[in-house]
Every structure is written in structure tokens, then in C-alpha cells.
Amino acid sequence: MKGIILFGHGARNAEWAEPFHRIRAAILARDPGLPVELGFLELMRPTFAEAVDGLTARGVTEIVVVPVFMAAGSHVKKDLPQMAADAMARHPGLAIELAAPVGEVPAVIDAMACHALDITGNAVAAR
């Protein structure tokens, strides 16, 4: 069974995680049975390792990690592959695939661009 981890940085303020919970809810609204968890690098829980453990406990054998980052910095390029390697070492038979950060996805870029135009009152000119 496949599952998803939405990988985020984490912050001290619990409110900061709100958009991450909303992405998870939007996924579950479309596919209620899909195993999907948040997993944070630091300062918040569940941690990435806890998210992996939670998914494997539900029978997930393939995890796709979606980095909820605007761009690929060292957290995505170095920390995440190391955490994924550690998790696979801890769970023999588990496959983890690392996707590109969401900020690189064309549909996400378009949504951000359209939003910027909308809020500046350029929505009409944009269509």
C-alpha cells in the first residue's frame, strides 16, 4: 500500500502548521482512504521518523515524500535524503520516493501567479 508524507520544516508556533493540515485535508477530501501524514524536520511533531513509523504501522510499504517547500535548499537536498535512508534502514522492505518540492510544480506556480494578480486587482487583465 502507498502512502504520502507531506514534509515540512516546522516552527515554534503551532499555528504555523495550519497550511500543512489544510493540504492533508484537501488530499483526504479527494481520497479519504489514502494514508497521508505530516512529517516535520524540526520543532514540530510528528517528526519525519514518526510519520514513517505511523504509515508503516498501517501497512504502508511505499511512501512518496512531498517536500512542502518553495525551493530545494539543504533541508530538501541533504537532510531529507538522509532521513529517508535512515527510515529505510529501520524498516526493511519499505520503499521511499522523494518528490520535487511543491514550489517547483508548474500548477502550483500558476496558482501562486494567479493569486498575486487577483489580489492586486489585475484579475481581469489576466484573463
As annotated, the active-site residues are 9
Distance, in Å, from the CA atom of 113 to the CA atom of 25, rounded to the nearest integer, reads: 23
User: Residues 61-100 vs a second copy: string with x where CB under 8 A?
Assistant: ---x-x-xxxxxx-------------------------x-
Interaction of residue 17 with a second copy, rule CB under 8 A: yes
Dump the DSSP string for 17-65.
Answer: GHHHHHHHHHHHHH-TT--EEEEESSSSSSBHHHHHHHHHHTT--EEEE
Task: Work out which of 30, 89, 92, 93 binds a second copy, going by CB under 8 A.
Answer: 30
Distance, in Å, from the CA atom of 60 to the CA atom of 1, rounded to the nearest integer, reads: 5
Helix (H, G, I), strand (E, B) or coil at 82: helix
Asked if residue 94 lies in contact with residue 61, where contact means CB atoms within 8 angstroms, the answer is: yes
Interaction of residue 42 with a second copy, rule CB under 8 A: no
Interaction of residue 126 with a second copy, rule CB under 8 A: yes
- Positions touching a second copy (CB under 8 A) are 2, 4, 6, 8-9, 11, 13, 15-20, 22-23, 26-27, 29-31, 34, 36, 64, 66, 68-73, 99, 101-117, 119-122, 125-126
